[in-house]
Chains A and B, each alone.
Chain A
């Protein structure tokens, strides 16, 4: 095999793996979305109603994943928990994008002092471990689903601001931008119609991966009792409950953790798959 064919063969090989990432990620994310949507309209049992006679049961035909210390159906609680997890991901990423992208775009496009000030603040915000920032914000705002979304969203602002700025900087000096400017295109139109669409791919990829991160953060906050409040179920809170019953009902600790991991894995794979799909020049080697 000569060098060229080897290179071509390797590229084909890489291509094939890329599609796998997208496919598996897509299936996992799709399954999580279906579970969350179904959980909103139908659950096998009431997820918050306590039923003491059935407490601490292992998986049975009535309760497919068993019951918790109050006799509540684990499957139903996991389904309802999926809705909160995905909702937190959606809103938190939405906040991160809608605050971070305009800030980063402004910094990158205007440059000079505006850039310095915005980006130094973003860097400082980035120095706070995301989960610490989220804990501090939610602690001050008060626990609950809504405040969890806001807190995680704020923690993600600097990530999107940095990416948007990098995108604008790389596009700003392109010939097509100069061309648009020379025919009198307004700044707003230039940013919205030309620069932003061309720097969108890294943002889409990051948003997907951050979605998984938000699910992890929500689970952590709920584990600490700061996220979704009982009796509404959430995966993190279910794990916290399970930790108290490890010796008598170990299965309680298994299912919520598996769900968190699968959902996060799904979004990470989807993000990696999308990255390869949207930017074929990038080698998948550098992870």
Chain B
């Protein structure tokens, strides 16, 4: 079976398993959505009517299949609190979270790759040692604490950035940029630390390989050896890590959005949890996990461009 087909089958299975897990996690937990809608004063008849209207009186497997069939058509149900389709809320909130996660990741990539390469080239130097120390510290810093500190110094004291809120890109791009800068730095700093360590490690591994010795022996300038020969090999683990980090980024943005009051998916998840809005929790959880899996699928496909031994069709 060609590589791409194998990967597509495994993607399908993973998405299906995620739907089961999401449904299972939400439904084994006690709690009555009907009572949530009507309040504790509701009569048993009204409760059972509402349960029937929501389909909660049917057996779990049937409920799951109905939900899955809807999800496949892009219908994730109706939010109990907003009284709006979950998919509509998702589409409204997604741009904020995607912008935040993308900015944070770009920041991490732009800083971490050159930094990691420089540290690897200067292995055992003071710069290399400082890199290792800083990356250890960076991994340990909670993103939301960095967020609070950035807000304290750059927004509250120096008033360079807004403390919270978000203006959509299409209304005022400059303002949107300003409102996302601090959250993106907070979210990106720990990612820089993770990536610097990885790039440095992979570069050192690559630089000790035979093909690098050959390239040097041919008399190629060091710059070409590093950028064209070593970096290409070191990029595969780096890209894998970037894909894997997406989950952490989305997880981290759930908290960062709370810190900076950004109206993204994270704020919606927390709202849904507080209000026990089960269709919303279910839809969002499923969507975020599916997003992580799909991005990692795309990451897997990019290997074929970096490693000539791999092909999409073999």
How many A-B Cβ pairs are below 8 Å? 150
Decide: A141 and B136 in contact? CB cutoff 8 A: no
Decide: B145 and A260 in contact? CB cutoff 8 A: yes
Which listed segment binds B: A46-54, A116-124, A184-192? Answer: A116-124
How far, in angstroms, from A220 to B15 measured CA to CA in the complex?
A: 27
How far, in angstroms, from A226 to B21 measured CA to CA in the complex?
A: 22
Interface string of A140-183 (1 = CB under 8 A from B): 11000000000000000000000000000000000000000000
- What A residues does B148 contact at CB under 8 A? 239, 242-243, 246, 253, 257
Judge if B14 is at the interface, Cβ distance under 8 Å. yes
Report the minimum CB–CB distance from B154 to chain A (whole Å).
11
Report the minimum CB–CB distance from A137 to chain B (whole Å).
6
Judge if B71 is at the interface, Cβ distance under 8 Å. no
Decide: B140 and A212 in contact? CB cutoff 8 A: yes
Judge if B302 is at the interface, Cβ distance under 8 Å. no
Report the minimum CB–CB distance from A68 to chain B (whole Å).
15
Interface string of A215-244 (1 = CB under 8 A from B): 010011001101000000000000100110
- What A residues does B251 contact at CB under 8 A? 129-132
How far, in angstroms, from A284 to B145 measured CA to CA in the complex?
A: 29
Judge if B289 is at the interface, Cβ distance under 8 Å. yes
Identify the closest chain A residue to B141 (Cβ): A261
How far, in angstroms, from A223 to B252 measured CA to CA in the complex?
A: 12
A128-B288, A220-B255, A285-B204 known; A265 vs B137 contact (CB < 8 Å): yes
Identify the closest chain A residue to B17 (Cβ): A124
Report the minimum CB–CB distance from B25 to chain A (whole Å).
6
How far, in angstroms, from A262 to B136 measured CA to CA in the complex?
A: 11
The answer, among B21, B124, B152, B255, for a CB contact under 8 Å with A224, is B255
How far, in angstroms, from A220 to B14 measured CA to CA in the complex?
A: 28
How far, in angstroms, from A130 to B13 measured CA to CA in the complex?
A: 20
Decide: A123 and B149 in contact? CB cutoff 8 A: no
Judge if B179 is at the interface, Cβ distance under 8 Å. no
- Which secondary structure dominates chain B's binding surface? helix
Decide: A243 and B151 in contact? CB cutoff 8 A: yes
- Which secondary structure dominates chain A's binding surface? helix
How far, in angstroms, from A128 to B31 measured CA to CA in the complex?
A: 22
A120-B13, A127-B247, A128-B285 known; A137 vs B204 contact (CB < 8 Å): no
Residues of A in contact (CB 8 Å), total 48
- What A residues does B198 contact at CB under 8 A? 287
Judge if A64 is at the interface, Cβ distance under 8 Å. no
Interface string of B229-262 (1 = CB under 8 A from A): 0000000000000000001101110110011000
Judge if A110 is at the interface, Cβ distance under 8 Å. no
Interface string of B120-150 (1 = CB under 8 A from A): 0000100000000001110111101100110
Decide: A224 and B270 in contact? CB cutoff 8 A: yes
Interface string of B253-275 (1 = CB under 8 A from A): 01100110000000001101110
12 contacts between A and B (CB under 8 A): A120-B13, A125-B21, A128-B285, A133-B25, A135-B254, A139-B274, A219-B142, A224-B270, A243-B259, A247-B156, A257-B141, A264-B140
Q: List chain B positions with a Cβ less than 8 A from chain A.
A: 13-14, 17-18, 20-21, 25-26, 29, 31, 124, 135-137, 139-142, 144-145, 148-149, 151-152, 156-157, 197-198, 200-202, 204-205, 247-248, 250-252, 254-255, 258-259, 269-270, 272-274, 276, 281, 285, 288-290, 292-293, 296
Leading 5 A-B pairs by shortest Cβ distance: A129-B251, A139-B273, A140-B29, A287-B197, A124-B17
